[in-house]
């Protein structure tokens, strides 16, 4: 199919010279060469693609003969990474795929000279378009262009079968809705069998979900995951939320949408109130309270992050944000209380915690002017505090456990930790106390009490 000629110049302008050169080199060696996957989709939407995947009828060894610098990565599956002018391009031989009997990889792949065959194995019609900007040819057997116009994510072929082949496609279905702001075709959604998502590893779930959380329209993705049942299969802690408290789910989604797009911030926003369903109580005056819900949220988050194999750093950050999201953002707090907060949260996370609070307020109907103002004041005070001094955690104390034991003296044991805790409290009241001589005289003065601990 040829698209209207007047669109070509606009499409061509967005294609970098290296991509152009690679397509040209394959074609002048007698091979077919197309842009496929995300690139034609984004070009037709008037966006600039992130990466450039080329498809060709040339076999991997023929691709390597055409380009002097290559890296063999997925060669078994027909992909050669071509290095041209410091740019990496993936060049993949047209292929057909066998059954996915393990639900992960095709049992076999076979090379094919037909670009149509190659498009048939692709997941959604908007991703099954091949574009040849040199020959100004568009191969679009499934009317992906029509789906782009209608802003619709629709499976290539029979949805149930395609999702059974590779259950990860169920998440990709919602991911593209969230990234592009498209709707999902009803018939495609009906093909989803949520239980099958169990076959997908934690890492891959994590990566897809993170992409959905970071997308421009996360609500489309997250609401779809909830509606289809995928969410509760992947994260059972959402089951009581969806069953008993739909408003809470809306709040979590709204917090995700309101918070800045950082992976850990978005995860924390999505999980921060998970503990509310089990801590809900009505107090003596008839008000609903959720005492301690942040600690239940923390536990639920911790096991999820473990299962999804998050890095230690990401896990720590998400857990810290969830654990302390109820902090008192009172600009009248004493310096000591502020320091204790920063000490618990860590200076590297404190401003993200404030950002989470801002988003939480936005998602709860928008902060009042007063709340907004006090958050700004609060942030300013923390900035001043961090600029001014360094004593914030027990590690920063001018004395360590060994020195405490030697001085008092005390045998190793929990008492040493208790003494250090007290020193820490004392130092946070006035950071100028954080000198070894002053701490030792404090120990001296309280020696008898400490020895009775
Ligand atoms: P992105 O902008 O996220 O890179 P993309 O469409 O390029 O989007 P990729 O994951 O890079 O997505 O995949 C490239 C192409 O390969 C897709 O457009 C699609 O045609 C095909 N594809 C990728 N994963 C699958 C899958 N699991 N099943 C079928 N086709 C797939
Ligand atoms: Mg891509």
Beta bridge partners of 289: 281
Nearest in space to 56 (alpha carbons), one of 108, 147, 1, 118: 118
For 203-254, write each residue's pLDDT tens digit. 999 999 999 999 999 999 999 999 999 999 999 999 999 999 999 999 999 9
DSSP state of 155: B
| Whether pLDDT at 95 is above 60 | yes
- Pick the range with the lowest mean pLDDT from 63-67, 192-196, 351-355, 416-420: 416-420
Assess whether the C-beta atom of 125 lies below 6 angstroms from ligand 1: no
Backbone dihedral angles phi then psi of residue 405, each to the nearest 5 degrees:
-60, -45
- What does the pLDDT read at residue 331? 79
Rounded Cα–Cα distance for residues 221 and 97 (Å): 28
Query: For tokens 């041209």, what's the residue?
Result: 84
Q: Which residues contact residue 130 at a Cβ distance below 8 angstroms, ignoring those fewer than 6 apart?
A: 34, 35, 36, 40, 55, 115, 118, 119, 138, 139, 140
Of the listed ligands, the closest to the CA of 122 is 1
> Could you tell me the pTM of the whole model?
0.86
Assess whether the C-beta atom of 169 lies below 6 angstroms from ligand 1: yes
Distance 257 CA to ligand 2 centre (A): 24
- What does the pLDDT read at residue 390? 58
Band (406; pLDDT cuts 50, 70, 90): very high
Q: Which residues contact residue 291 at a Cβ distance below 8 angstroms, ignoring those fewer than 6 apart?
A: 279, 281
Higher-pLDDT residue of 276, 394: 276
Do you find a cis peptide bond into 409, omega within 30 degrees of 0? yes
DSSP state of 95: E
Nearest in space to 360 (alpha carbons), one of 297, 302, 280: 297
For 172-212, write each residue's pLDDT tens digit. 999 999 999 999 999 999 999 999 999 999 999 999 999 99
**Helices 263-271/246-258 angle, 10° precision:** 160
The total of other beta-carbon atoms located within 10 Å of residue 260's CB is 12
For 110-155, write each residue's pLDDT tens digit. 999 999 999 999 999 999 999 999 999 999 999 999 999 999 999 9
| Residue nearest atom 12 of ligand 1, based on CA coordinates | 38
Rounded Cα–Cα distance for residues 253 and 420 (Å): 42
Assess whether the C-beta atom of 168 lies below 6 angstroms from ligand 1: yes
- Pick the range with the lowest mean pLDDT from 62-66, 114-118, 325-329: 325-329
Higher-pLDDT residue of 335, 55: 55
| Residue nearest atom 16 of ligand 1, based on CA coordinates | 37
Assess whether the C-beta atom of 123 lies below 6 angstroms from ligand 1: yes
Query: For tokens 């950050």, what's the residue?
Result: 317
434 membership: H or E segment, kind and range: none
DSSP class per residue in 96-107: EE---TTSSS-S
- What does the pLDDT read at residue 101? 77
| Whether pLDDT at 2 is above 60 | no
């Amino acid at each position: 199919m040829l698209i209207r000629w007047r669109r070509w110049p606009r499409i061509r302008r967005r294609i970098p010279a290296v991509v152009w050169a690679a397509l040209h080199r394959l074609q002048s060696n007698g091979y077919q060469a197309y842009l496929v996957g995300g690139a034609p989709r984004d070009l037709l939407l008037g966006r600039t693609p992130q990466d450039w995947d080329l498809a060709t009828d040339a076999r991997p060894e023929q691709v390597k003969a055409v380009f002097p610098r290559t890296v063999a990565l997925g060669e078994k599956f027909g992909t050669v990474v071509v290095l041209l002018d410091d740019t990496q391009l993936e060049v993949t031989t047209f292929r057909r795929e066998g059954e996915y009997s393990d639900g992960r990889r095709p049992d076999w792949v076979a090379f094919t000279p037909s670009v149509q065959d190659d498009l048939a194995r692709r997941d959604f019609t908007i991703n099954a378009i091949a574009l040849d900007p040199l020959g100004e040819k568009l191969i679009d057997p499934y009317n992906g262009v029509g789906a782009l116009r209608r802003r619709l994510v629709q499976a290539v072929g029979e949805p149930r079968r395609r999702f059974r082949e590779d259950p990860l496609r169920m998440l990709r279905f919602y991911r593209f809705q969230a990234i592009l702001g498209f709707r999902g075709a009803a018939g495609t959604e009906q093909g989803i069998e949520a239980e099958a998502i169990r076959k997908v590893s934690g890492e891959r779930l994590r990566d897809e979900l993170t992409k959905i959380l970071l997308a421009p329209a996360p609500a489309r993705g997250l609401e779809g995951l909830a509606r289809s049942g995928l969410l509760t299969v992947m994260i059972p802690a959402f089951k009581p939320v969806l069953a008993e408290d739909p408003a809470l789910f809306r709040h979590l989604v709204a917090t995700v949408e309101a918070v800045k797009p950082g992976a850990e911030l978005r995860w924390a926003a999505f999980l921060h109130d998970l503990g509310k369903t089990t801590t809900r109580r009505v107090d003596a005056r008839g008000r609903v309270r959720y005492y301690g819900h942040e600690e239940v949220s923390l536990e639920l988050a911790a096991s999820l992050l473990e299962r999804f194999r998050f890095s230690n750093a990401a896990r720590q950050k998400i857990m810290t944000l969830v654990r302390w999201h109820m902090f008192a953002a009172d600009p009248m707090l004493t310096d000591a209380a502020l320091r204790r907060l920063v000490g618990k949260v860590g200076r590297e996370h404190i401003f993200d915690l404030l950002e989470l609070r801002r988003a939480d307020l936005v998602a709860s109907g928008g902060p009042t002017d007063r709340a907004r103002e006090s958050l700004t004041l609060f942030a300013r005070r923390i900035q001043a505090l961090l600029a001014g001094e360094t004593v914030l955690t027990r590690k920063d104390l001018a004395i360590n456990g060994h020195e405490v034991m030697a001085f008092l003296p005390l045998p190793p044991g929990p008492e040493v930790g208790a003494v250090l805790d007290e020193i820490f409290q004392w130092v946070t009241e006035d950071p100028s106390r954080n000198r070894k001589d002053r701490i030792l005289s404090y120990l001296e003065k309280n020696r008898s009490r400490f020895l009775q601990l």
